[in-house]
Amino acid sequence: MLGFVNLFKPAGPTSTQVGARVRRMFAESGGTKLPVGHLGTLDPLAAGVLPLAIGKATRLIPLMEDRRKSYAFTLVLGRKTATGDASGETLEEAPVPADAAQLLERAVPHFIGTLEQTPPMYSALHSGGERLYEIARRGETVARAARKIVVYGLTLLGYENGTARIAVACSEGTYVRTLAEDLGTAIGCPAHMGALLRDASGPFVLYESLTLDEIEADPQAALIAPERVIPFPTIVLDGRGAADFRAGRLVPLPSGSAAKHVFVRDSTRTLVGVGEPVGALLAPRKVFV
């Protein structure tokens, strides 16, 4: 049992909690407790696309090159919080400028492109062996190095009564909460992120995502084959070739391939692993069975 699941995470539970529930579903379906890996977690209050790797597909995560994210969120002006979202205690309040919509329109273009962003204290990054949010909950703050992110697109969708609706497409590692605070700073007004919906994560999109109930009804049907997620070509080996590949030996490449990596299946169409063409040979890089 190997593949990916495009899960719709509801607001409320953590990514770890819903991942554990999906693990139990597959264990009950196949009788085996399988590893489950996240392809970028979501905060508890956030909803939307949460891709999961099931079984040995977790070993494919480092090979996934498309890590772009797409979100829709609300920017709430007039209040800054400790966490950067609606769950945190208030740190600062101020009146919302009467021309806030116009100010945001002018500020948005300056947040498109390669930017430097300082991760928030309430994040899962490590510092001195601890998660930053563990340090923040003690009321402490530590220095965090700014990181380069890329905002591919940022669009103001609407504005009403101090709340803006915004769409953003960005690189992996972008903190939308921090982006919301920075937008507020740019127009001279404290701000925090309200609601957050992730509508795409790499090749996983919102309209194809499944709820927990839908996955539980038929876990096997929810599995997405690796070839649908990672654009590697597939090579089929005969019995001897598949056996050698499984044993970690170089095998003749059935046909010339310019691809850096290929999926390898045997004559029964079972996914054997990932190989790397080396001249006229195929070198095993990841072997699954």
**Which tokens is 11 given?**
């607001």
Domains and CATH numbers, the chain: 3-64+203-228 (3.30.2350.10), 69-201 (3.30.2350.10), 232-287 (2.30.130.10)
Known catalytic residue: 66?
no
Kind plus residue range of the DSSP H or E element containing 234: strand 234-236
Over the stretch 21-30, which tens digit does the pLDDT of each residue have? 999 999 888 7
Distances 45 to 12, 41, 146 between C-alpha atoms, Å = 5, 12, 25
Residue 78 clears pLDDT 90, i.e. is over it: yes
**CA pseudo-torsion sign 60, 66, 72, 74:** positive
pLDDT 10s digits, 178-228: 999 999 999 999 999 999 999 999 999 999 999 999 999 999 999 999 999
- Average pLDDT over all residues of the chain: 92
Give how far the C-alpha of residue 134 lies from the chain's centroid of Cα atoms, to the nearest Å: 22
| pTM score of the predicted model | 0.90
